Homo-oligomer: A and B are copies of this chain.
């Protein structure tokens, strides 16, 4: 039977009598047929009255909490749950009705910790001076305020939320819990905790039902966060007989390759450029972001923005399109340098190609930015190449490539292949999976047996460090060209 993380079974409970003097809780437990059912104190305080008011027929709220299903409330007006993906830059939150799994609201918002530093390292540095508490607090306040507005929009009360699942990279998870992060960026890169954790919402300060069950995805070390494990869960890669690959480009680019018996993860510190983060005209995928670029034979540039809004910057998939089109049009060479055919302009002291002047400022890319981008794509491709090589297999042996994150949402596969970001394999081998981290969190919220699948993934996953790997350093330089100095390697 599929049992969500929180559920509310209808129980018709035998009434007390001269011949049946079991206590209220034991009576309910026996009727539920659930092993190890454990009452919260708030539950016990409300039980006798609610039980009698409802004539011993109630639908209590039960949350899976380690091996002990926890009785949270004798009744529920609404039964809601949240899945939350905490990215370094963006947070996505989905509110569900747990009774029919209907999506009630989806909120995407900037991680408020950005006020303490755009990237992970600067936040860690901040915490070394001022502790993690300001970072924890800012994230928590942001979450609570968004939960409140999501609940309002869905016409529920925040106290109707009885289950929450968080997936995030290792540093974001630590900051959510208020755990020290200063050992994470320093060799040998030790997090405080790796295992999956259960908390009551009140322990974390989350403003939902105080006894709501909170599940936090485990990590596999400082560089392989719960978001990756959640993403693997979402793809089902961990149940595959033959090797499959998950490429997840967020603030970092992570490559996962594995089967049901083993999973290898390589992470290249390569992400920001692929997310649009390194460009001076870069932006996250929000309204007004250019996500699609085309250069006509005439040299004219056309583009599309999210929500058809006036252009405000260029996001990850836009950058990939742009660089691929510049190359296709002959405006840049294999090394990413502007050719004579490109019409460039000086911006901020550097030669830049302007996509449009229609925004508040010219939206453009310069040679240094193209170089950064190519370095990122090279790191990503090299990770993928080295990982498969180390396993003695070729790209052709990989049944399926799941493409998640910035790459998974709206990138033109042909352009990514043209640049040598992804192997040159038939299109049907690639499957975009969007925000796989959020999807995994959602799967676990809806089906608590996923908790065991996560344990399985956690037990077989291995992290392979890449940037210091000899093989990586040997292959990396060639991958910085478009598409590669040796296209045979693309598959």
Interface residues of A (CB under 8 A from B): 16-18, 20-26, 38-39, 41, 44-45, 47-49, 66-68, 177-180, 182-183, 187-195, 197, 199, 203-204, 219, 221-222, 463
Contact = CB atoms under 8 A, between A and B. Distances in A.
A66 B38 contact: yes
Contacts of A203: 41
Contacts of A190: 16, 21-24, 48
B178 A45 contact: yes
Nearest to A39: B193
Contact of A44 (B20, B177, B183): B177
Nearest to A17: B188
A327 to B, nearest CB: 40
Nearest to A174: B44
B180 A49 contact: yes
A25 B204 contact: no
Task: List 9 tightest A-B contacts by C-beta distance, closest first.
Answer: A25-B193, A23-B194, A23-B191, A48-B180, A16-B190, A16-B188, A24-B192, A23-B193, A48-B192
Contacts of A191: 23-24
Nearest to A223: B21
Contacts of A48: 179-180, 182-183, 190, 192
Contacts of A45: 177-180
Given A177-B41, A178-B41, A192 B47 contact: yes
Contacts of A23: 190-194, 219, 221
Report the copy number of this chain in the oligomer: 2
A183 B27 CA distance: 14
Contacts of A39: 193, 197
B41 A199 contact: yes
A193 B38 CA distance: 11
A182 B16 CA distance: 14
Contacts of A38: 66
Q: Is the interface of A mostly helix, strand, loop or mixed?
A: loop
A34 to B, nearest CB: 14
A204 to B, nearest CB: 7
15 contacts: A17-B188, A18-B188, A20-B188, A21-B221, A23-B192, A23-B194, A23-B219, A25-B192, A25-B193, A25-B195, A26-B194, A39-B193, A45-B178, A48-B182, A66-B68
Nearest to A37: B195
A234 to B, nearest CB: 24
B21 A188 contact: yes
Contacts of A41: 177-178, 199, 203-204
A17 B186 CA distance: 11
Contacts of A20: 188
B18 A193 contact: no
Given A41-B203, A66-B68, A204-B41, A26 B195 contact: yes
Nearest to A170: B23
A137 to B, nearest CB: 13
Given A39-B193, A44-B179, A45-B180, 7 more contacts: A16-B190, A20-B188, A21-B463, A22-B190, A24-B192, A41-B203, A44-B192
Contacts of A183: 24, 48
A44 B136 CA distance: 14
Max chain B Cβ within 10 angstroms of own Cβ: one of A177, A180, A190, A221: A190
A192 to B, nearest CB: 5
Contacts of A219: 23
B67 A26 contact: no
Contacts of A177: 41, 44-45
A19 to B, nearest CB: 8
A26 B193 contact: yes
Nearest to A45: B178
A49 B182 CA distance: 10
Nearest to A48: B180
Max chain B Cβ within 10 angstroms of own Cβ: one of A39, A44, A192: A192
Contacts of A194: 22-23, 25-26
A361 to B, nearest CB: 44
A193 B17 contact: no
A39 B177 CA distance: 12
A44 B187 contact: no
Contacts of A25: 192-195
